Structure 1
Amino acid sequence: MTEEQHLREYTKALKAILPKHFFEPVPARMMYLPIFVGLFVLCAWGIVATPLVLLKLLLSFGAGYAFVGMGFLAHEILHGAVTKNPVVRSIAGTIAFLPLLVGARLWRKWHNVEHHGHTQHPHDDPDAMGTLEVAQQKPIFQWFFRQAPAFRSLFLFSSFTFWFSFHAHMMLRRFLPEFKPHERRVVIFQAILPYLVWLGVFLLVGPLNFLFVFVLPWVIANFIAMSFIATNHLLNPVTETNDPLMNSLTVRNPRWLEWLTLGFGLHVEHHIFPVLSPKYAHIVAAKIKELWPQRYNELPHWKALYYLWKTPRLYRDHRNLIEPTSGKVFGTMGFGLPERVQQHKRARINARAVGKKRRRSS
């Protein structure tokens, strides 16, 4: 891959060939909100009504899908891809983010402004992973990165079950002081509101049903959301320039699954045009591939998760990841990944084969 290009170079070239209506909101997408809310209410009613634990469990998965669907829709709404009306956008975004315990105003600061404005910047992106230099300065990181790679990967994937909501609370602590006093009250209210809503649900359905109505669906929604978010960036290089073809990754699923997840996996396209409705993302993806075929990063979702498991989450430099227990270096997307992962895999297989031969000969 060549050197970094700025976001504006892509937007300028694409806007010249894409229809103007692609950059207008698609209000019809708001219909997903009552559908997801209705699905959750239906599943919650079934959970409370049935005495069968297995059926409660199955209905929890339906509620979990409703939760993550609302999260994907909130992301879309708060970028302005559904409506330009700021009041409607704020109210709808607040409702849609209730299951994941995220406030709409905080999200717009943390995600829209900071993450999109500084994607994969080693210091300024609040969602970027750390560098070897930073890890060496913090005792908890030193301990963690001394653990076996398999343990760290297991911890990473296990953390998907809660990380999105937990990270939101870290972002609240980080960015709350940056809001003006009148905005700060709104941010705090939106941070408390989800807990008040779910406390009311807890009192209404009781502890056992609450486990199936909220806790398990919340875990499912966090896991699905993080399986996308982590693969969308954590395999990519860090960049000083906001270059979405270098610092972002589109993950592909079967078209029916992309429809169910509202096209969230088409992430390179989203980072070039954050206000673009996912309705048009496939068309934009085709245009990007025509203009910059060597720069576009795309993987099947399952394969991106596999590489996420196999590679360390520590940057040696802007282009490479490093395994601190062995010193092995893994490339990032466009700079050796996935080739280097396959090389390390073949090296391990060869090492095992040599070991077996030696044991047989002895």
Structure 2
Amino acid sequence: MVNLVESKPLMTQAEYAKKLRPLLPPEAFQPDNNYVLILGINLAILILGWGIADSLDRWNWYFLWLYLPLALIMGNSVIVALFSTHNIMHSATIKKPQLKQAIVLLGLTMLWMPPTLWKAVHNREHHNNTNSFQDPDRNYLEEQPKNWGKWIQNKFVPSAEVNPILLTIGMAHSWGVHAFRNLSSVFLFNNGTTKYPVFSFTVSPQERRAIGWELLLAIAIHSSILIFLDFHPIKLLLGYFLPIWIGYSGAMFYIYTNHMLCQMTAINDPLINSISLRVPKIFDVLHLNFSYHTEHHIFPGMNSDYYPMVQELLLTHYGDRFNLLDVGKVWQLMLQTPRHYRDETTFTDWTGEKSVPCPLSVNRQEG
């Protein structure tokens, strides 16, 4: 197979931004206070849901199904809490550092993600090293040890080999694995040599202390919810676990499709190492245009309302490089390919017996 890096030279995120920024209106880069409002509304939905869940022990059992639509709405609020907080942390929406830290802590608590860790793993490591060897969010490499972290990805992440039942379980729990994998690595060891994360990075002593305090506050908030629900099985199942499972599944659906089907790149080229999805408009409205993921990697701090404008520019100027696919097609391709990297443009399975070219690389070369 022809090596894509040789056949079509990679470009950097800065090169795309330099060309496209003058073509966009200045207001696209102004802070958007609506993110805070959206986060507040969805936190209020969660609180309302827990308030109603506290009465579930007084419902006749044959009426419990009436809570399921609210659990679905609460699950969506978990997704929106992540995405709105994600946008707040990329932007200058909140000027005061302490206020910003308090707000993003509330936004990420349901995800068990200390904001200081998110800033390190996502803003710093992932965005600067997207789908490269140094990216903690990429697929595992074939050459990496077969430890518990790699085993979980192999068993529960969408691939040609995954069991449908394990995939369903994984959708609801893989976010927790991702958070625990990186949290334990930096909080317990912080030496850059732990083997079970996809890539082991380090944080400063000050960041490490902040992560510890933020984790304690998250534990206190979750414990308060459990106490409020009286540790009652029905209340916990429908009012706590089910919304979390729905929310984590929705978030992981986006996260899986953002990069894991792409080739690795030594140079951070967002048009090669990222995917933007075509999804029904309702999901872009609900989820702050998170499907415009390549656009986000070019302009991380941009108002997400303007991502469709960036997409039009990408189609005009870089249509032959741009990974823009229907969401169903991306999911189908993920279920047809293995999930470990043999090299930058080739996937393999747990046994190393398969060797499957990255389908996006093949399509681009043929085009």
Structure 2: gaps of 5 or more residues: 191-201
Comparing 137-146 and 210-219, the one that deviates more: 137-146
Larger radius of gyration: 1
Q: Is the 8 A contact 1:117 1:242 kept in 2?
A: yes
Matched, 1:19 2:29: no
Cα distance change, pair 331–89 in 1 and its aligned pair in 2 (3 A): farther
Deviation at 1:251, TM superposition (A): 1.4
Matched, 1:263 2:289: yes
Cα distance change, pair 142–163 in 1 and its aligned pair in 2 (3 A): closer
Q: Is the 8 A contact 1:153 1:309 kept in 2?
A: no
Comparing 50-59 and 246-255, the one that deviates more: 50-59
Q: Is the 8 A contact 2:320 2:364 kept in 1?
A: no
SS in structure 1 at match of 2:331: helix
Q: 2:44 aligns with which of 28, 32, 38?
A: 38
Residue identity matched to 1:78: M
Deviation at 1:230, TM superposition (A): 0.6
Matched, 1:316 2:342: yes
SS in structure 1 at match of 2:335: helix
Deviations 1:56-106 (A, max 9, x none): 333211211111111111111111263344333222111111111111111
Cα distance change, pair 13–325 in 1 and its aligned pair in 2 (3 A): same
Match of 1:353 in 2: none
Match of 2:141 in 1: 131
Structure 1: gaps of 5 or more residues: 341-362
Cα distance change, pair 10–157 in 1 and its aligned pair in 2 (3 A): farther
Residue identity matched to 2:139: M
Matched, 1:300 2:326: yes
SS in structure 2 at match of 1:5: coil
TM-score normalised according to structure 1 size: 0.85
Deviation at 1:151, TM superposition (A): 3.5
Match of 1:53 in 2: 64
SS in structure 2 at match of 1:251: strand
Q: 2:118 aligns with which of 97, 100, 107?
A: 107
Q: 1:220 aligns with which of 242, 246, 252?
A: 246
Match of 2:129 in 1: 118
Residue identity matched to 2:55: A
Paired with 1:200 and 1:21, the residues of 2 have a C-alpha distance of 41
Paired with 1:53 and 1:331, the residues of 2 have a C-alpha distance of 48
Q: 2:217 aligns with which of 193, 200, 212?
A: 193
Deviation at 1:152, TM superposition (A): 5.1
Pairs within 5 Å for 1:141-220? 149-151=160-162, 155-176=166-187, 177=190, 178-206=202-230, 207-208=232-233, 209-220=235-246
Q: 1:92 aligns with which of 83, 91, 103?
A: 103
Paired with 2:81 and 2:166, the residues of 1 have a C-alpha distance of 26
Q: Is the 8 A contact 1:26 1:83 kept in 2?
A: no
Paired with 1:321 and 1:181, the residues of 2 have a C-alpha distance of 37
Comparing 110-119 and 19-28, the one that deviates more: 19-28
Q: Is the 8 A contact 1:330 1:337 kept in 2?
A: no
Cα distance change, pair 66–322 in 1 and its aligned pair in 2 (3 A): same
Number of positions where the alignment pairs a residue of Structure 1 with one of Structure 2: 337
Comparing 325-334 and 188-197, the one that deviates more: 325-334
Match of 2:15 in 1: 9
Q: Is the 8 A contact 2:341 2:348 kept in 1?
A: yes
Q: Is the 8 A contact 1:120 1:237 kept in 2?
A: yes
Match of 2:270 in 1: 244
Residue identity matched to 1:162: H
Deviations 1:270-289 (A, max 9, x none): 11111112111111111111
Cα distance change, pair 146–73 in 1 and its aligned pair in 2 (3 A): closer
Comparing 295-304 and 146-155, the one that deviates more: 146-155
Match of 1:349 in 2: none
Comparing 80-89 and 45-54, the one that deviates more: 80-89
Paired with 2:208 and 2:154, the residues of 1 have a C-alpha distance of 37
Deviation at 1:48, TM superposition (A): 2.4
Between 1 and 2, higher relative CO (CA 8 Å, sep ≥ 6) is seen in 2
Deviations 1:201-231 (A, max 9, x none): 1111122212222111111111100000010
Q: Is the 8 A contact 2:141 2:342 kept in 1?
A: yes
- RMSD across aligned C-alpha pairs, in angstroms? 2.6
TM-score normalised according to structure 2 size: 0.84
Percent identity between the two aligned chains: 26
Residue identity matched to 1:318: E
SS in structure 2 at match of 1:299: strand
